[in-house]
Structure 1
Amino acid sequence: MTLFLPQPNHIHKPPLVPYRRLRKPYTLPVISAVSGKQLVTSGEVRAVEPKEAKTVVASEGYVLLDVRPDWEREKARVKGSLHVPLFVEDTDNGPITLLKKWIHLGYIGLWTGQRFTMFNGEFTLRVLEAFPDKKSKVLVVCGEGLRSLMAISKLHGEGYKSLGWLAGGFNRATERDFPEIEGSEELRFATIGGASYYLLKLLVLLQNFGKESR
Structure 2
Amino acid sequence: MSKSLEYEIQPEEVKPLLGTEGVVLVDVREPWERDTAKIEDTLFIPMGDIPARIQELDPDDHVIVVCHHGVRSLSVAAWLRQQGYEKAQSMAGGIDRWSRFIDPKVPLY
TM over 0.5: yes
Q: CA deviation at 1:53?
A: 1.6
- Secondary structure (helix, strand or coil) at the match of 1:162 reads coil
- Secondary structure (helix, strand or coil) at the match of 1:77 reads coil
1:53 corresponds in structure 2 to: 14
Q: CA deviation at 1:177?
A: 2.0
Alpha-carbon displacement from aligned partner over 1:135-182 (angstroms, at most 9, x marks no partner): 111111111000001101111111111112211111112366248x7x
Runs of 5+ in structure 2 lacking a partner? none
- Runs of at least 4 residues off by over 6 Å: none
2:51 corresponds in structure 1 to: 124
What is the CA–CA distance in structure 2 between the aligned matches of 1:58 and 1:80, rounded to whole Å? 8
Q: Which amino acid aligns with 2:50?
A: F
Aligned partners of 2:26 and 2:65 also within 8 Å:
yes
Matched, 1:174 2:88: no
More helix by share: 1
What is the CA–CA distance in structure 2 between the aligned matches of 1:57 and 1:163, rounded to whole Å? 15
Aligned partners of 2:28 and 2:66 also within 8 Å:
yes
> Whose RCO is larger (CA < 8 A, sep 6+)?
2
Runs of 5+ in structure 1 lacking a partner? 1-42, 87-119, 191-214
Q: Which amino acid aligns with 2:61?
A: S
Given candidates 61, 65, 78, the residue that maps to 2:26 is: 65
2:35 corresponds in structure 1 to: 74
1:196 corresponds in structure 2 to: none
Alpha-carbon displacement from aligned partner over 1:85-144 (angstroms, at most 9, x marks no partner): 11xxxxxxxxxxxxxxxxxxxxxxxxxxxxxxxxx2x4222132x21x311111111110
Q: Which amino acid aligns with 1:54?
A: K
Q: CA deviation at 1:46?
A: 4.7
User: When the two structures are superposed, what TM-score results if normalisation uses the length of structure 2?
Assistant: 0.81
- Secondary structure (helix, strand or coil) at the match of 1:171 reads helix
> Aligned-pair RMSD on alpha carbons?
2.5
User: When the two structures are superposed, what TM-score results if normalisation uses the length of structure 1?
Assistant: 0.44
- Counting matched residue pairs gives 107
1:147 corresponds in structure 2 to: 72
